[in-house]
Amino acid sequence: MKVIIFDFDGTIANSFQLIAEISHELAKRPGLVSDAEMSQMRTLSLVQVARNFNIPKWKWPYMIHRGKYLMTKRINQVEPFPGIAEILQTLYNERYVLVIVSSNSKKNIERFLVQHGIGNNFDQIYGGVGLYGKARVLRKILRRNNIAATEAMYIGDEIRDVEAAKQVNMPCIAVGWGFNTPEMLAAHAPTIVVRQPKQLLSVIEEWNQV
């Protein structure tokens, strides 16, 4: 049995634009998020984005809580990245154990999955994970499934996803279509960086043969 663990926002769900808009709103910045600002955000860590928005650290818990609430009201606007739903169905059919670990709420994730016809594909969903709590949850998943870190793979779109996987010695696919740019992800040395969803199946198949 091999376990594939997915981040949600920016990996499965194409929610970056919505998250940027919500962040703009919470930071009380006038106007829409420009293309230039979107591009700049992709080269920054979440901490750097918060600093650019002049959000003090003591406000982060409130902002995250409020952001999840606003996301709930607009989750029906979010689509999967092209090809992702089909890839998840293929992995499910091939009997991989599929798991989601996300800072987003479990409620939002479940609504999204059902809305897009992939609600039954995941064995476990861990929502509401703290910004830097993913390594702890990855260890919990390993214990729950009674497997070694080499029998699981984590797929995410942020530097913190790569770092979380490293903390538990788990292989990590960094995807270049989400929050951070492929170049920024590569600088943090994941197992591999992929730039298109269609590359995922071949990388996972190769890993499964090891």
- State residue 11's pLDDT score: 96
Distance, in Å, from the CA atom of 168 to the CA atom of 157, rounded to the nearest integer, reads 17
pTM of the model: 0.86
Contact assessment for residue 77 and residue 114, using Cβ atoms and an 8 Å cutoff? no
- State residue 44's pLDDT score: 60
**Rounded alpha-carbon distances, angstroms, from residue 7 to 19, 36, 165:** 15, 25, 11
Domains and CATH numbers, the chain: 3-14+80-208 (3.40.50.1000), 16-77 (no CATH)
C-alpha 188: how far from chain center: 16
Which regions in the chain score pLDDT beneath 70?
24, 26-64
- State residue 18's pLDDT score: 80
Instruction: Give the model confidence (pLDDT) of 4-53 as tens digits.
Output: 999 999 999 998 778 777 776 766 665 556 666 666 666 666 666 666 66
